[in-house]
Structure 1
Amino acid sequence: MSALTAIPADQWFDNPVIREIVPTAVLETLGMTAVAGVITALLGIPLGVLLFTTSPDGTSPSPVTHRLVGALVNLGRSLPFLILMIAIIPVTRLIVGTSIGWQAAVVPLTVGAIPFYARLVETSLREVPSGKVEAVTMMGATRREITRKVLLPEARSGLVAGLTTTLIALIGYTAMAGAVGGGGLGAVAMSYGYNRFETDVMVVCVALLVVIVTAVQVIGDLVARRLDRR
Protein backbone atom coordinates (compact mmCIF):
# COMPACT_ATOMS: atom_id res chain seq x y z
CA MET A 1 0.00 0.00 0.00
CA SER A 2 1.43 3.39 -0.96
CA ALA A 3 1.87 6.32 1.41
CA LEU A 4 -0.97 8.15 -0.33
CA THR A 5 -3.54 5.35 -0.01
CA ALA A 6 -2.49 4.69 3.58
CA ILE A 7 -4.16 7.97 4.63
CA PRO A 8 -7.98 7.84 4.81
CA ALA A 9 -9.61 10.34 2.46
CA ASP A 10 -11.43 12.13 5.26
CA GLN A 11 -8.15 12.69 7.14
CA TRP A 12 -6.19 14.25 4.29
CA PHE A 13 -4.84 17.65 5.39
CA ASP A 14 -6.73 17.35 8.71
CA ASN A 15 -3.39 17.40 10.43
CA PRO A 16 -2.38 19.51 13.46
CA VAL A 17 1.06 19.96 11.93
CA ILE A 18 -0.48 21.69 8.91
CA ARG A 19 -2.74 23.84 11.06
CA GLU A 20 -0.26 24.82 13.76
CA ILE A 21 3.33 24.39 12.55
CA VAL A 22 3.23 25.04 8.81
CA PRO A 23 2.00 28.68 9.13
CA THR A 24 4.96 29.47 11.39
CA ALA A 25 7.28 27.69 8.96
CA VAL A 26 5.96 29.87 6.11
CA LEU A 27 6.78 33.01 8.09
CA GLU A 28 10.26 31.67 8.85
CA THR A 29 10.88 30.93 5.17
CA LEU A 30 9.69 34.41 4.19
CA GLY A 31 11.79 35.94 6.97
CA MET A 32 14.95 34.14 5.89
CA THR A 33 14.41 35.09 2.27
CA ALA A 34 13.55 38.73 2.98
CA VAL A 35 16.40 39.46 5.39
CA ALA A 36 18.99 37.64 3.31
CA GLY A 37 17.63 39.28 0.15
CA VAL A 38 17.91 42.81 1.54
CA ILE A 39 21.47 42.27 2.79
CA THR A 40 22.41 40.60 -0.50
CA ALA A 41 21.13 43.59 -2.48
CA LEU A 42 22.91 46.10 -0.23
CA LEU A 43 26.26 44.31 -0.52
CA GLY A 44 25.92 42.57 -3.87
CA ILE A 45 25.30 45.72 -5.90
CA PRO A 46 28.50 47.51 -4.74
CA LEU A 47 30.46 44.30 -5.26
CA GLY A 48 29.04 43.90 -8.77
CA VAL A 49 29.82 47.54 -9.53
CA LEU A 50 33.40 46.99 -8.36
CA LEU A 51 33.70 43.94 -10.60
CA PHE A 52 32.48 45.91 -13.61
CA THR A 53 34.35 49.17 -13.07
CA THR A 54 37.71 47.45 -12.48
CA SER A 55 37.34 45.19 -15.52
CA PRO A 56 39.32 45.98 -18.70
CA ASP A 57 36.21 47.60 -20.24
CA GLY A 58 35.16 49.37 -17.05
CA THR A 59 35.40 52.99 -16.03
CA SER A 60 38.33 52.35 -13.64
CA PRO A 61 40.33 49.43 -15.06
CA SER A 62 42.44 47.67 -12.46
CA PRO A 63 43.56 44.16 -13.47
CA VAL A 64 44.89 43.24 -10.02
CA THR A 65 41.77 44.35 -8.17
CA HIS A 66 39.51 42.74 -10.75
CA ARG A 67 41.29 39.40 -10.58
CA LEU A 68 41.36 39.43 -6.76
CA VAL A 69 37.68 40.33 -6.36
CA GLY A 70 36.72 37.95 -9.16
CA ALA A 71 38.57 35.10 -7.47
CA LEU A 72 36.78 35.73 -4.17
CA VAL A 73 33.41 35.87 -5.93
CA ASN A 74 34.13 32.65 -7.82
CA LEU A 75 35.17 30.95 -4.58
CA GLY A 76 31.90 31.96 -2.94
CA ARG A 77 29.86 30.73 -5.89
CA SER A 78 31.67 27.41 -6.14
CA LEU A 79 30.89 26.16 -2.63
CA PRO A 80 27.72 24.03 -2.34
CA PHE A 81 25.33 25.66 0.08
CA LEU A 82 25.22 22.83 2.63
CA ILE A 83 29.01 22.72 2.81
CA LEU A 84 29.13 26.50 3.14
CA MET A 85 26.52 26.44 5.90
CA ILE A 86 28.50 23.90 7.91
CA ALA A 87 31.88 25.52 7.23
CA ILE A 88 30.91 28.92 8.62
CA ILE A 89 29.09 27.69 11.73
CA PRO A 90 31.67 29.45 13.98
CA VAL A 91 31.01 32.72 12.13
CA THR A 92 27.27 32.21 12.41
CA ARG A 93 27.54 31.64 16.17
CA LEU A 94 29.71 34.73 16.50
CA ILE A 95 27.20 36.92 14.67
CA VAL A 96 23.87 35.46 15.82
CA GLY A 97 24.82 33.58 18.96
CA THR A 98 23.51 30.23 17.70
CA SER A 99 23.76 27.95 14.68
CA ILE A 100 20.14 26.73 14.83
CA GLY A 101 16.97 28.48 13.70
CA TRP A 102 15.98 30.70 10.82
CA GLN A 103 17.92 33.70 12.17
CA ALA A 104 21.14 31.67 12.10
CA ALA A 105 20.38 30.44 8.58
CA VAL A 106 20.37 34.03 7.33
CA VAL A 107 24.16 34.23 7.68
CA PRO A 108 25.12 31.40 5.27
CA LEU A 109 22.20 32.32 3.01
CA THR A 110 23.61 35.82 2.65
CA VAL A 111 27.20 34.68 2.26
CA GLY A 112 26.16 32.30 -0.50
CA ALA A 113 23.87 34.77 -2.29
CA ILE A 114 26.09 37.87 -2.39
CA PRO A 115 28.66 36.54 -4.92
CA PHE A 116 25.85 35.03 -7.00
CA TYR A 117 24.03 38.36 -7.23
CA ALA A 118 27.26 40.32 -7.73
CA ARG A 119 27.89 38.44 -10.98
CA LEU A 120 24.34 39.19 -12.13
CA VAL A 121 24.91 42.87 -11.33
CA GLU A 122 28.12 42.85 -13.34
CA THR A 123 26.31 41.29 -16.29
CA SER A 124 23.53 43.89 -16.12
CA LEU A 125 26.05 46.74 -16.11
CA ARG A 126 27.80 45.30 -19.16
CA GLU A 127 24.52 45.56 -21.05
CA VAL A 128 24.38 49.36 -20.64
CA PRO A 129 25.13 50.96 -24.05
CA SER A 130 28.71 52.19 -24.08
CA GLY A 131 27.63 55.26 -26.05
CA LYS A 132 25.77 56.67 -23.06
CA VAL A 133 28.80 56.22 -20.85
CA GLU A 134 31.05 57.88 -23.42
CA ALA A 135 28.62 60.79 -23.77
CA VAL A 136 28.58 61.67 -20.08
CA THR A 137 32.34 61.12 -19.88
CA MET A 138 32.86 63.73 -22.58
CA MET A 139 30.66 66.09 -20.57
CA GLY A 140 33.12 65.86 -17.70
CA ALA A 141 31.28 63.50 -15.38
CA THR A 142 33.34 61.83 -12.67
CA ARG A 143 33.55 58.06 -12.34
CA ARG A 144 31.24 58.14 -9.35
CA GLU A 145 28.71 60.22 -11.27
CA ILE A 146 28.89 57.84 -14.22
CA THR A 147 28.09 54.93 -11.92
CA ARG A 148 25.37 56.71 -9.96
CA LYS A 149 23.65 58.62 -12.76
CA VAL A 150 24.18 56.40 -15.81
CA LEU A 151 25.18 52.81 -15.09
CA LEU A 152 22.83 52.01 -12.22
CA PRO A 153 19.75 53.83 -13.60
CA GLU A 154 20.19 52.26 -17.04
CA ALA A 155 20.71 48.80 -15.58
CA ARG A 156 17.94 48.92 -12.98
CA SER A 157 15.63 46.58 -14.88
CA GLY A 158 18.40 43.98 -15.08
CA LEU A 159 19.24 44.54 -11.42
CA VAL A 160 15.65 43.77 -10.43
CA ALA A 161 15.56 40.72 -12.70
CA GLY A 162 18.82 39.50 -11.18
CA LEU A 163 17.53 40.08 -7.66
CA THR A 164 14.39 38.10 -8.53
CA THR A 165 16.54 35.19 -9.67
CA THR A 166 18.60 35.47 -6.49
CA LEU A 167 15.52 35.49 -4.25
CA ILE A 168 14.22 32.34 -5.93
CA ALA A 169 17.59 30.69 -5.39
CA LEU A 170 17.43 31.79 -1.74
CA ILE A 171 14.05 30.12 -1.32
CA GLY A 172 15.62 26.88 -2.53
CA TYR A 173 18.51 27.39 -0.12
CA THR A 174 16.10 27.90 2.79
CA ALA A 175 14.65 24.46 2.11
CA MET A 176 18.14 22.96 2.31
CA ALA A 177 18.89 24.97 5.44
CA GLY A 178 15.78 23.51 7.04
CA ALA A 179 17.19 20.03 6.62
CA VAL A 180 20.03 20.89 9.04
CA GLY A 181 18.20 22.91 11.65
CA GLY A 182 17.53 26.13 9.78
CA GLY A 183 13.78 26.17 10.28
CA GLY A 184 11.15 27.06 7.70
CA LEU A 185 9.22 24.84 5.32
CA GLY A 186 12.27 22.72 4.60
CA ALA A 187 12.54 21.72 8.26
CA VAL A 188 8.86 20.81 8.45
CA ALA A 189 9.01 18.83 5.21
CA MET A 190 12.02 16.91 6.48
CA SER A 191 10.92 16.37 10.08
CA TYR A 192 7.29 15.50 9.46
CA GLY A 193 6.82 14.82 5.77
CA TYR A 194 9.90 12.65 5.30
CA ASN A 195 10.95 11.27 8.69
CA ARG A 196 7.41 10.62 9.92
CA PHE A 197 5.95 9.69 6.54
CA GLU A 198 3.22 12.34 6.75
CA THR A 199 2.62 12.70 3.04
CA ASP A 200 0.01 15.42 3.37
CA VAL A 201 2.53 17.61 5.21
CA MET A 202 5.07 17.08 2.45
CA VAL A 203 2.49 17.94 -0.23
CA VAL A 204 1.48 21.15 1.56
CA CYS A 205 5.11 22.25 2.06
CA VAL A 206 5.97 21.66 -1.59
CA ALA A 207 2.81 23.46 -2.75
CA LEU A 208 3.54 26.46 -0.55
CA LEU A 209 7.13 26.68 -1.84
CA VAL A 210 5.79 26.64 -5.40
CA VAL A 211 3.33 29.42 -4.56
CA ILE A 212 6.04 31.56 -2.95
CA VAL A 213 8.44 31.10 -5.86
CA THR A 214 5.71 31.88 -8.39
CA ALA A 215 4.68 35.03 -6.52
CA VAL A 216 8.27 36.27 -6.35
CA GLN A 217 8.78 35.62 -10.06
CA VAL A 218 5.55 37.37 -11.09
CA ILE A 219 6.22 40.43 -8.93
CA GLY A 220 9.86 40.61 -10.04
CA ASP A 221 8.90 40.42 -13.72
CA LEU A 222 6.30 43.17 -13.32
CA VAL A 223 8.75 45.51 -11.59
CA ALA A 224 11.52 44.77 -14.11
CA ARG A 225 9.22 45.53 -17.05
CA ARG A 226 8.13 48.82 -15.49
CA LEU A 227 11.75 49.87 -15.00
CA ASP A 228 12.88 48.81 -18.47
CA ARG A 229 13.81 51.91 -20.47
CA ARG A 230 14.20 50.11 -23.78
Structure 2
Amino acid sequence: MSPALFDLFLASIVETAVMVGLSGAVSFVVGLPLALLLVATDRGGIWEKPLINRGVGAVVNAFRSIPFIILLVALLPFTRFIVGTTIGTAAAIVPLTVAATPYFARIAEVSLREVDRGLIEAVKAMGGTRWQIVREVLVPEALPGIVSGFTVTLVTLIGASAMAGAVGAGGLGDLAIRYGYQRFEVVVMLSVIVALIVMVSAVQSGGDLIARRLDRRR
Protein backbone atom coordinates (compact mmCIF):
# COMPACT_ATOMS: atom_id res chain seq x y z
CA MET A 1 0.00 0.00 0.00
CA SER A 2 1.41 3.37 -1.02
CA PRO A 3 1.89 6.15 1.56
CA ALA A 4 -0.98 8.11 0.02
CA LEU A 5 -3.31 5.13 0.24
CA PHE A 6 -2.19 4.42 3.78
CA ASP A 7 -3.04 8.00 4.81
CA LEU A 8 -6.41 7.59 3.13
CA PHE A 9 -6.88 4.32 4.99
CA LEU A 10 -6.21 5.98 8.35
CA ALA A 11 -8.55 8.85 7.48
CA SER A 12 -11.26 6.33 6.58
CA ILE A 13 -10.91 4.64 9.96
CA VAL A 14 -11.41 7.99 11.65
CA GLU A 15 -14.44 8.75 9.45
CA THR A 16 -16.00 5.40 10.31
CA ALA A 17 -15.36 5.95 14.03
CA VAL A 18 -16.96 9.40 13.83
CA MET A 19 -20.02 8.09 11.97
CA VAL A 20 -20.53 5.21 14.38
CA GLY A 21 -19.76 7.26 17.50
CA LEU A 22 -22.07 10.18 16.74
CA SER A 23 -24.96 8.13 15.37
CA GLY A 24 -24.58 5.69 18.27
CA ALA A 25 -24.64 8.51 20.83
CA VAL A 26 -27.78 10.05 19.36
CA SER A 27 -29.50 6.66 19.08
CA PHE A 28 -28.78 6.04 22.77
CA VAL A 29 -30.04 9.45 23.87
CA VAL A 30 -33.25 9.08 21.85
CA GLY A 31 -33.68 5.30 21.92
CA LEU A 32 -33.56 4.84 25.70
CA PRO A 33 -36.41 7.30 26.40
CA LEU A 34 -38.36 5.60 23.62
CA ALA A 35 -37.82 2.23 25.29
CA LEU A 36 -38.89 3.65 28.65
CA LEU A 37 -41.99 5.12 27.04
CA LEU A 38 -42.88 1.78 25.44
CA VAL A 39 -42.51 -0.04 28.76
CA ALA A 40 -44.22 2.60 30.90
CA THR A 41 -47.26 3.01 28.63
CA ASP A 42 -47.87 -0.70 28.08
CA ARG A 43 -50.65 -2.56 29.88
CA GLY A 44 -49.65 -2.92 33.51
CA GLY A 45 -46.96 -0.25 33.14
CA ILE A 46 -46.36 2.64 35.50
CA TRP A 47 -48.12 5.04 33.09
CA GLU A 48 -50.60 2.86 31.25
CA LYS A 49 -51.56 4.52 27.95
CA PRO A 50 -52.42 1.84 25.35
CA LEU A 51 -53.06 4.31 22.52
CA ILE A 52 -49.70 6.03 22.97
CA ASN A 53 -48.01 2.65 23.29
CA ARG A 54 -49.51 1.36 20.06
CA GLY A 55 -48.68 4.57 18.20
CA VAL A 56 -45.06 4.71 19.32
CA GLY A 57 -44.68 0.98 18.77
CA ALA A 58 -46.04 1.25 15.22
CA VAL A 59 -43.55 4.00 14.33
CA VAL A 60 -40.65 2.06 15.82
CA ASN A 61 -41.65 -1.10 13.99
CA ALA A 62 -42.10 0.77 10.72
CA PHE A 63 -38.55 2.11 10.72
CA ARG A 64 -37.12 -1.20 11.93
CA SER A 65 -38.73 -3.07 9.05
CA ILE A 66 -37.00 -1.02 6.33
CA PRO A 67 -33.66 -2.46 5.11
CA PHE A 68 -30.87 0.02 5.73
CA ILE A 69 -29.84 0.44 2.10
CA ILE A 70 -33.44 1.36 1.18
CA LEU A 71 -33.75 3.69 4.17
CA LEU A 72 -30.46 5.30 3.19
CA VAL A 73 -31.81 6.21 -0.25
CA ALA A 74 -35.30 7.13 0.96
CA LEU A 75 -33.87 9.62 3.46
CA LEU A 76 -31.73 11.47 0.92
CA PRO A 77 -34.07 14.52 0.77
CA PHE A 78 -34.27 14.61 4.58
CA THR A 79 -30.51 14.21 4.85
CA ARG A 80 -29.96 17.10 2.42
CA PHE A 81 -32.37 19.23 4.47
CA ILE A 82 -30.56 18.46 7.75
CA VAL A 83 -26.89 18.68 6.74
CA GLY A 84 -27.06 20.32 3.30
CA THR A 85 -25.54 17.40 1.39
CA THR A 86 -26.16 13.73 0.64
CA ILE A 87 -22.53 12.57 0.49
CA GLY A 88 -19.75 12.41 3.04
CA THR A 89 -19.49 11.51 6.69
CA ALA A 90 -21.98 14.09 7.98
CA ALA A 91 -24.64 12.91 5.53
CA ALA A 92 -24.19 9.28 6.60
CA ILE A 93 -24.83 10.09 10.25
CA VAL A 94 -28.48 10.99 9.56
CA PRO A 95 -29.69 7.65 8.12
CA LEU A 96 -27.44 5.72 10.51
CA THR A 97 -29.09 7.46 13.44
CA VAL A 98 -32.61 6.94 12.07
CA ALA A 99 -31.88 3.24 11.55
CA ALA A 100 -30.16 2.67 14.90
CA THR A 101 -32.59 4.50 17.18
CA PRO A 102 -35.62 2.17 16.83
CA TYR A 103 -33.29 -0.83 16.78
CA PHE A 104 -31.73 0.13 20.10
CA ALA A 105 -35.12 1.14 21.54
CA ARG A 106 -36.47 -2.38 21.06
CA ILE A 107 -33.34 -3.98 22.52
CA ALA A 108 -33.44 -1.69 25.56
CA GLU A 109 -37.16 -2.36 25.93
CA VAL A 110 -36.47 -6.09 26.36
CA SER A 111 -33.99 -5.38 29.16
CA LEU A 112 -36.38 -2.99 30.90
CA ARG A 113 -39.20 -5.55 30.78
CA GLU A 114 -36.99 -8.08 32.58
CA VAL A 115 -36.78 -5.92 35.71
CA ASP A 116 -38.37 -7.64 38.69
CA ARG A 117 -41.94 -6.39 39.12
CA GLY A 118 -41.59 -6.87 42.85
CA LEU A 119 -39.04 -4.05 43.03
CA ILE A 120 -41.36 -1.73 41.15
CA GLU A 121 -44.29 -2.58 43.41
CA ALA A 122 -42.10 -2.03 46.49
CA VAL A 123 -41.21 1.50 45.37
CA LYS A 124 -44.89 2.18 44.60
CA ALA A 125 -45.87 0.97 48.08
CA MET A 126 -43.40 3.41 49.61
CA GLY A 127 -45.01 6.27 47.70
CA GLY A 128 -42.44 6.51 44.94
CA THR A 129 -43.31 8.58 41.89
CA ARG A 130 -43.08 7.34 38.29
CA TRP A 131 -39.85 9.25 37.81
CA GLN A 132 -38.38 7.67 40.95
CA ILE A 133 -39.34 4.23 39.68
CA VAL A 134 -37.59 4.95 36.38
CA ARG A 135 -34.51 6.46 38.02
CA GLU A 136 -34.14 4.15 41.02
CA VAL A 137 -35.41 0.82 39.69
CA LEU A 138 -35.94 0.44 35.95
CA VAL A 139 -32.75 1.99 34.58
CA PRO A 140 -30.29 0.77 37.28
CA GLU A 141 -31.63 -2.80 37.23
CA ALA A 142 -31.71 -3.00 33.43
CA LEU A 143 -28.41 -1.18 32.89
CA PRO A 144 -26.21 -4.25 32.18
CA GLY A 145 -28.68 -5.42 29.55
CA ILE A 146 -28.98 -1.92 28.12
CA VAL A 147 -25.20 -1.69 27.79
CA SER A 148 -25.08 -5.08 26.09
CA GLY A 149 -27.84 -3.99 23.73
CA PHE A 150 -26.04 -0.75 22.95
CA THR A 151 -22.91 -2.75 22.19
CA VAL A 152 -24.85 -4.82 19.66
CA THR A 153 -26.22 -1.58 18.20
CA LEU A 154 -22.72 -0.17 17.75
CA VAL A 155 -21.56 -3.36 16.05
CA THR A 156 -24.55 -3.14 13.71
CA LEU A 157 -23.70 0.50 13.01
CA ILE A 158 -20.17 -0.43 12.01
CA GLY A 159 -21.56 -2.77 9.37
CA ALA A 160 -24.16 -0.22 8.26
CA SER A 161 -21.53 2.52 7.96
CA ALA A 162 -19.55 0.29 5.61
CA MET A 163 -22.71 -0.28 3.59
CA ALA A 164 -23.27 3.48 3.43
CA GLY A 165 -19.98 3.73 1.54
CA ALA A 166 -21.88 2.47 -1.51
CA VAL A 167 -23.47 5.91 -1.87
CA GLY A 168 -20.37 7.98 -1.12
CA ALA A 169 -20.73 8.21 2.64
CA GLY A 170 -17.00 8.02 3.24
CA GLY A 171 -15.27 5.78 5.73
CA LEU A 172 -13.96 2.27 5.25
CA GLY A 173 -16.88 1.16 3.08
CA ASP A 174 -16.26 3.92 0.57
CA LEU A 175 -12.54 3.12 0.53
CA ALA A 176 -13.21 -0.57 -0.06
CA ILE A 177 -15.55 0.15 -2.97
CA ARG A 178 -13.51 2.86 -4.69
CA TYR A 179 -10.09 1.28 -4.31
CA GLY A 180 -10.54 -2.32 -3.25
CA TYR A 181 -13.30 -3.16 -5.73
CA GLN A 182 -13.24 -0.64 -8.57
CA ARG A 183 -9.44 -0.42 -8.79
CA PHE A 184 -8.75 -4.03 -7.78
CA GLU A 185 -6.49 -3.03 -4.88
CA VAL A 186 -6.51 -6.33 -3.00
CA VAL A 187 -4.33 -4.98 -0.20
CA VAL A 188 -6.78 -2.15 0.43
CA MET A 189 -9.73 -4.54 0.54
CA LEU A 190 -7.96 -6.86 2.98
CA SER A 191 -6.88 -3.92 5.14
CA VAL A 192 -10.47 -2.67 5.32
CA ILE A 193 -11.70 -6.14 6.32
CA VAL A 194 -9.07 -6.41 9.06
CA ALA A 195 -9.85 -2.90 10.32
CA LEU A 196 -13.57 -3.68 10.53
CA ILE A 197 -12.89 -6.93 12.39
CA VAL A 198 -10.65 -5.12 14.87
CA MET A 199 -13.23 -2.37 15.41
CA VAL A 200 -16.06 -4.83 15.97
CA SER A 201 -13.95 -6.95 18.33
CA ALA A 202 -12.86 -3.90 20.33
CA VAL A 203 -16.41 -2.59 20.68
CA GLN A 204 -17.80 -6.00 21.63
CA SER A 205 -15.06 -6.70 24.17
CA GLY A 206 -15.38 -3.25 25.73
CA GLY A 207 -19.15 -3.47 25.94
CA ASP A 208 -19.05 -6.95 27.47
CA LEU A 209 -16.54 -5.80 30.07
CA ILE A 210 -18.65 -2.81 31.10
CA ALA A 211 -21.82 -4.92 31.24
CA ARG A 212 -20.14 -7.52 33.47
CA ARG A 213 -18.89 -4.87 35.88
CA LEU A 214 -22.32 -3.24 36.08
CA ASP A 215 -23.92 -6.63 36.67
CA ARG A 216 -21.60 -7.33 39.61
CA ARG A 217 -22.48 -3.98 41.21
CA ARG A 218 -26.22 -4.61 41.30
- Select 1:40's aligned residue among 27, 52, 71: 27
CA distance in 2, matches of 1:57, 1:158: 21
CA-to-aligned-CA distance 1:58-89 (integer Å, 9 cap, x gap): 21111111111110000010001111111111
Q: Which runs of 4+ in 1 moved over 4 A?
A: none
- For structure 1, which runs of at least 5 residues remain unmatched after alignment? 1-13
- Select 1:161's aligned residue among 148, 153, 165: 148
CA distance in 1, matches of 2:99, 2:44: 27
CA distance in 2, matches of 1:95, 1:44: 20
CA distance in 1, matches of 2:75, 2:206: 32
Greater helix fraction, Structure 1 or Structure 2: 2
1:135 maps to 122
1:24 aligns with 2:15: no
* Greater mean alpha carbon deviation, residues 146-155 or residues 201-210: 146-155
| 2:152 alignment partner AA | T
2:211 maps to 224
1:172 maps to 159
Mapping of residues 48-197 of structure 1, within 5 Å: 48-197=35-184
| 2:158 alignment partner AA | I
- For structure 2, which runs of at least 5 residues remain unmatched after alignment? none
Identity across matched positions, percent: 52
CA distance in 2, matches of 1:57, 1:112: 29
CA distance in 2, matches of 1:92, 1:128: 37
How far residue 145 of structure 1 moved from its aligned partner, in angstroms, is 1.0
CA contact (8 A) 1:17 1:201 kept: no
| CA RMSD of superposed structures (Å) | 1.0
How far residue 90 of structure 1 moved from its aligned partner, in angstroms, is 1.1
CA distance in 1, matches of 2:187, 2:4: 10
How far residue 149 of structure 1 moved from its aligned partner, in angstroms, is 1.3
Q: When the two structures are aligned, how many residues end up with a matched partner? A: 217
CA-to-aligned-CA distance 1:182-208 (integer Å, 9 cap, x gap): 000000000100111111100000000
CA distance in 2, matches of 1:90, 1:96: 10
| 1:59 alignment partner AA | I
How far residue 17 of structure 1 moved from its aligned partner, in angstroms, is 5.0
**Higher Cα radius of gyration:** 1
Q: TM-score w.r.t. structure 1 length?
A: 0.92
CA distance in 2, matches of 1:168, 1:208: 13
Give the secondary-structure state (helix, strand or coil) at the position aligned to 1:58: coil
Q: TM-score w.r.t. structure 2 length?
A: 0.97
Give the secondary-structure state (helix, strand or coil) at the position aligned to 1:52: helix
| 2:53 alignment partner AA | H
